[in-house]
Amino acid sequence: MNMVLESTANLARRRLKARLFHLSCMALTWLCLVMLAVLLIHATRQGLPWLDVQFLRDFPSRFPERAGIKSALYGTLWLISLTAAFSIPIGVAAAIYLEEYAKRSRVNSLIEISLANLAGVPSIVYGILGLTIFVRWLGLGRSVMAGAMTMSLLILPIIIIASREALRAVPDSIRQAASALGATQWQTIRHHVIPSALPGILTGTILALSRAIGETAPLIMIGALTYVAFVPKGPMDAFTALPIQIFNWVSRPQQEFHELAAAGIVVLLAVLLLMNAAAVIIRHRSQRNRL
């Protein structure tokens, strides 16, 4: 009985289609990875010879061999720490309010649409906003504080949207189980909803902060300086940041400065990698501690 299980007419064609789809997805994934690798290799090859302790320890200089990124690196660390301190509590709180407390209403859906739109507004617009409100009205000047507040505005929509997504993924059966045990809504959120959503919230937050660390336009807009020969001592000091320093070096004609910019890019990527690693560790630990 070799008729049993013989292929029907179009099975071969359906299989071919499935195989083609599989292969094209794979090819596109590799394309992305190759582009990234080329970028990384290029920057590393150019910048590596300049990467040494002196580069990290010295301030910018018009002599390439004496130039360093100390002020930019410190500025970026200050900026990102303050931005995280502002944006994470506000963003997560807003997401919890919208997801757990606010009733479905027209105002709520309006907020939802506005958030999605805000996430897509060009960063230069946030720079103008920061210049008007923080630098001028609040009189913060060209300080790290003004920069961090501007960056917080920029990434808040991303944090809120990602956190809401994570909260929404927590099954309702968990909330019901907790409520049925005589838990108040806060106890339910504190002990079950937030721990379950934490990995998602962390991922979204790190993505948002990674965006902030690479942003240049709003910082230029609020007047972060391009040449700074000191490190910020407090949140009200003037500052520069890695992307600005990189931009500054790239715009010079000499080849040496282009190589310095490449070295700066490597440092920037290293900071990013450290942040992501920290997120992975925190996430891992929070999952283990849940038992």
Partner 1 sequence: MMVDDALRLEAHPAAAVSSSEAPLLEARGVTIQYAGNVAIKGVSVVAIERSITAIIGPSGCGKSTLLRAFNRMNDFTVDAQLSGQIMYRGVDIYHPHIDPVEVRRRIGMVFQKPNPFPKSIYRNVAWGPVINGFKGDVQELVQSSLEKAALWDEVKDRLNESALALSGGQQQRLCIARALALQPEVILMDEPASALDPVSTARIEDLLFELKERYTIVIVTHNMQQAARVSDFTAFLDSGRLIEFGETDQVFTRPKEKRTEDYVSGRFG
Output the smallest distance, CB 193 to partner 1, in A.
11
Show Cβ contacts of residue 269 under 8 Å, excluding neighbours closer than 6 positions. Answer: 40, 43
Q: Are the beta carbons of 79 and 211 closer than 8 angstroms? A: no
Cβ closest to partner 1, residue 178 vs residue 263:
178
Output the smallest distance, CB 172 to partner 1, in A.
9
Candidates 120, 139, 182, 234: give the one binding partner 1 (CB under 8 A).
182
Candidates 29, 54, 132, 184: give the one binding partner 1 (CB under 8 A).
184
Candidates 44, 196, 226, 276: give the one binding partner 1 (CB under 8 A).
196
Cβ closest to partner 1, residue 1 vs residue 181:
181
Binding of residue 285 to partner 1 (CB under 8 A): no
DSSP conformation class of 64: G
Only segment of 63-71, 188-196, 232-240, 256-264 that touches partner 1 (CB under 8 A):
188-196
- Which of positions 72-111 make contact with partner 1 (CB under 8 A)? 103-104
Residues linked to residue 238 through DSSP beta bridges, in sequence order: 143
Output the smallest distance, CB 201 to partner 1, in A.
16
Phi/psi of residue 238, nearest 5 degrees: -70, 160
Question: Which tokens go with 156?
Answer: 């808040």
Q: How far is CA 29 from CA 15, 22, 25, 42, 194, in A?
A: 21, 11, 6, 20, 33
Q: Are the beta carbons of 88 and 245 closer than 8 angstroms? A: no
Nearest to 171 by CA among 146, 140, 193, 153: 193
Binding of residue 274 to partner 1 (CB under 8 A): no
- Which of positions 138-177 make contact with partner 1 (CB under 8 A)? 171, 173-177
**Residues found near partner 1 in the complex (CB under 8 A):** 103-104, 171, 173-184, 187, 191-192, 196, 290-291
